[in-house]
Chains A and B, each alone.
Chain A
Amino acid sequence: MAEDNIMLKLTGVGKKFDDVAVLKDVNFTLEKGQIMGLVGENGAGKSTLMRIIFGMNVIAETGGYDGEVFFDGNKAAFTSPQDALKAGIGMVHQEFSLIPGFTTTENILLNMEKTKPNVISKVFGKTLETLDMPKMRERAAHAFQTLGVNLSTDELVSEMPVGHKQFIEIAREIDREHVKMLVLDEPTAVLTESEAEILLAAMRKIAEMGISIIFISHRLAEITSVCDKIVVLRDGVVVVENSTAGVSVHQIADWMVGRESSADAVAAKRHEEKGPSGSDFVFEVKNLWVDMPGETVRDVSFKVRRGEIFGIGGLAGHGKLGVPNGIMGLSPAGGIVSFDGKEVSLNSPISALNGGLAFVSEDRRGVGLLLDEPIDWNICFNAMQVQGKFLKKVLGVVPIRDEKAMSACARQYIEELSIKCTGEKQLVKQLSGGNQQKICLAKAFALSPSFLIVAEPTRGIDVGAKQLVLEALRRYNRENGTTILMISSELEELRQTCDRIAIICEGKIAGVRAPETNAVDFGLLMSGEIRDDVEETA
């Protein structure tokens, strides 16, 4: 292996947060034009490693790192993302950083706008040059073409489904001149399988252009299908650095956890045991419309049986996420929603919560979490404000926080969902993505809802923990008789968990099917090639 063919080389990289070592002596190399899959359980240190390579400020602020990073033959010690960008590294973060009120073109070419000199700029410098919009649009279109996606260059980002935003992030990175390496931190977590396919194909094309890619994903099948080599992190240590040739998904899962995982951890089967679903309809939605940017719902009606797990799937942008956000009063909505015979008034989160509904939002950082507060606050806050739990009275009248009860409750969920943290007082912003997701679930469980709505419940959660989370949902459903509405981009997950699945297409229900229905049928429903005209009641 010739030295000059190496794009990235790490030697002895280590990182500590407050004396907790999260990375220890990490070594690996990445060749030019290679795609490397980086896998590991939630909290293994993947995002942290990428932040080091990209020179993110959090790293320096928390005491820097040990070891050395070589990029394209030179020792790289980037002190800011700008340095990394200049050197030719592009990064798409686990959480997005697009600017909502800008068009796709503007977002892609942000900071590297094609500018035309004008009189003022000649005097005052380049920042005042006029934007050359036609030129910019052309470049954006070119970036989309490379990716093989079909998006408008003039659409506002705030009006887009989250899956499309992901493509724009990536388009933005590959459009940079002299980009040599891309870091993609869970880019597919918000995409449906078919959309992920497009992205994987695009990655192949990019790699053929000689650009190296580091790809992080918890969907192991994607790793085996697209990557040339794989690096497995376990508790901050590289346990495997290998070519992907002949490696199975199952094998990777074993490496990640460090023991033989039971077969169903990866190839999970559908739960045999039927839930406690009764015959009466407990939750009814009639002619619901929701005005959620990028996820408009036009006219949706469905009924959910008592004790059932009802799934909603569909492509990004067709409105599957609009349904829960409308019901919970987070987006403007109209129509009739009733639970247990009582109408739930729309556009008012408190009345939905008071009616016994709880919601795990798909937007965990925007809506789901108090990032600057500790874990126990996040888990207990809703239950405290809505139901008056975790409060005790002083002087007989003034309700104050019952810190002990909060800690106890938080510790219970940390245990149950195996949340990786230093204790219930750790700030949520210090947790890894997957562990933050678990906090969102715990928050909903703490409400002991009679109707639970979960949107993208396993987003960013590793294979092992995914089964844990889905199992927790099913157990919750069985033991408490809780009716669950589950929205997911992952069809497989819906088929594993739900009793019935509705597919949404263009803001309307295309059809409701049993989970055993074959995947091709579901695919046709999603793309709108089949559509049941009669309202489904069976």
Chain B
Amino acid sequence: MELPLLHLALVGTPNSGKTSLFNALTGSRQKVANYPGVTVERKEGFFVTPQGRQVSVVDLPGTYSLRGRSPDEEITRDFVLGKASGETVPDLVLCVADSTNLRLTIRLLLELKRTGRPMVLVLNMFDIAARRGITVDVERLAKELGLPVVTSIAVRKGGTADLLKLTDEISAKLAAEAEANSWRALSVAELRATQREADRIIADCVSLPARPDTWTARIDAVVLHPVGGLLVLTLILFVMFQAVFAWAQPAMDVLKSGFDALGELVQATLPDGLLQSFLQNGVISGVGSVIVFLPQIILIFLFILLLEDFGYMARAAFLMDRIMGGAGLHGRAFIPLLSSFACAIPGIMATRVIDNKRDRLTTILIAPLMTCSARIPVYTLIISAFIPAKDVWGFINLQGLVMFGLYAAGIASALAVSFLIKFFMLRDYAPAPFMLELPDYKMPRLKSIVIGIYTRAKMFLVRAGTTIFSMMVLIWFLASFPQPPVGATEPAIDFSLAAMIGKALEPLLAPVGFNWQIAVALIPGMAAREVAVAALGTVYAIEGGKEAAEQIGQVLATKWSLATALSMLAWYIFAPQCASTLAVIRRETGSWTWMAVTFAYMLVLAYAASLLTYNVAVALGAG
């Protein structure tokens, strides 16, 4: 007989390894990192138990209670209580605990018991507990709690075998067990009572050696030092941005010459004509010019992944809390903002951990000002074309320094905007509390880093192959048609639709020093920032005709003034050139207004910044 699907839910305090367990059970690759609040969405996956039972398992955001104080915690509460619309209540709740730190989970578990759902306590991270000399009397704990207890090591192969076996045993006799839900929000006295009860149970069943993680203490002595800690943080960010520029170069050169060779091959083998132009100008000069930046994107992700896995993110939030508070930002905003260096979309999603609505909204509004990885191609292209690659003070690469400056400008303007929001809009603002668990450091796991990078690189390439490619086809078409009349002497592109559109927009952008080619590139650049690079590549390649085997960077160096280049950099610090980010803002704030506000304020800032930059640069003789 085919048994019905068994529904499991993973519930537990933040950072206890729920997602790791989910990945281990289902073979998924959901994001895992060493700080509280990584998962902010509900994710379902499937697996089959050793005895062949079909199981659905849902990974949920971590929470300390079922009160649901922030949007992510509400997701967990609603799912466990069966409030989420169209959802079945889980048949079995797996309460996942960090075995080195049972107090808060056992309290949560005592609260969860009131929901009446059948439950299992999973003592995860049992390897770390064993290493620290923590011993748990599993049988006694199960008896005290009145439910099955099983140990697990989510990140080790076979580390979930016991859990799988138990799932089979339990699923056989489940139906009888479910009880009525008697949960309601706990009073302070009840909370206290559950914590007392939890502490009593732990005292009875767990022996803790007086040996905290000495490594964590040693590292924190430096990393959380009031002054030293901030220096370390600055140094980390500085090295990160320098590295993006300096270390990625060799790999980028290889890719670049690869695309050059490909272009030459196309030119040599295909007859002149539309197909040759499409492949050479549209695909290779366009999409190729974006793919070249893959090494830089991988590097920035590598840095962020390492910091996340190591356990540094929560520390950085601690260091920055009061400093960001001066600008009206909450300490919890730091992690979403730092992830926005990779991409604003997960950054904006991550703001779900911020419980105060205003703090969350401010963070969402400024997250797109953080220099995301899609700006890297634009910045790099212009910097390498216009900024000499010399060293300053002997060891700092000038190009890297400019890059760092652009990141700094993004951060500074984000803080300034947040300050203005606090000052003008939210005057009666009372700072919401900052409370954050600082997890023990963990050695970053090679496998999870590799998977993380692989997923991100794949996303980038898929985007290059879809969004960017389709934009390129459009631009190539606009820039190639209509074809010039026979006997025309001007470059063919002057007769095209692209030139018409660009020239119509030119008067609007002339004050900031943009020519019509840039105007054409900015419009498809709304879909994604990198598209602008590809679009410039295509437009200039078509304009240059067959001789233009040159790299787009070299073309820009001859066609643009320094003032135009700087103005373009200033534009990209602010411009809202990303449709997906705007869509996520709309979804997360639940309002078109905030999306429109973001778009408008960024556009105004971009124009103003470019106007200023261009005119100052021209006045200084860079026109």
Q: Bound pair: A and B?
A: no
| Residues in A lying within 8 Å of B, measured CB to CB | none
| Residues in B lying within 8 Å of A, measured CB to CB | none
